[in-house]
Amino acid sequence: LQGSGKTTSAAKLALRLMKEGRHPLLIAADVYRPAAMDQLQTLGGQVGVPVFSEVGPSPVELARLGVTHAKHHALNVAIIDTAGRLQVDEQLMAELRAIKAAVSPAEILMVADAMTGQEAVNIAAGFHKEIGLTGVILTKLDGDARGGAALSIRSALGVPLKFVGVGERPEQFE
């Protein structure tokens, strides 16, 4: 959802993969939030990862074009930064299903804010039911949250907690 740290987590994940010897591309597919594409461009520049961004195409087409761009430029990981919403809604889910159908991702990771506590479980369950998550990235674990959401998400959904954000800097990603 909005404010959970999706765009920042995408850049953190790209940096981590680059340090592991991969060649990632960040794809800016959030066409709704003002300056989302600019934010991803800035973060990509900070971590040294290229960003695919175009004004005009739909999020589904941006995902498709970005993955094609990655293949043509020998980039072996495409990270698609999709839009968030203030709440889970059918329009968001339909868009995510269409992106999934268009690019057949190997991983579908939901970014959840640890500060939302047990509500993160309900949100993750909704996403998992609709699009089939392969894992979760939990952000803001450096705050007052102590991991209850992480344990609950793992237990309720049966998908792994793949990464956690433990600070705002790009390297604060475990």
Check residue 87 and report its DSSP letter: S
Nearest to 64 by CA among 20, 21, 95: 95
Query: What is the rounded CA–CA span in Å between residue 55 and residue 17?
Result: 27
Query: What is the rounded CA–CA span in Å between residue 55 and residue 48?
Result: 22
Q: What is the pLDDT of residue 43?
A: 97
Q: What is the pLDDT of residue 86?
A: 62
The string of DSSP letters for 20-46 reads: TT--EEEEEE--SSTTHHHHHHHHHHH
Q: What is the pLDDT of residue 26?
A: 98
pTM: 0.90
Instruction: Per-residue pLDDT tens, the chain, 174 aa: give them.
Output: 677 899 999 999 999 999 999 999 999 999 998 899 999 999 999 999 999 999 999 999 999 999 999 999 999 999 999 998 766 788 989 999 999 999 999 999 999 888 887 888 888 888 899 899 999 998 887 765 556 777 778 788 888 889 888 888 888 888
Q: What are the angstrom distances between the C-alpha of 7 and each of 143, 151, 155?
A: 19, 24, 26
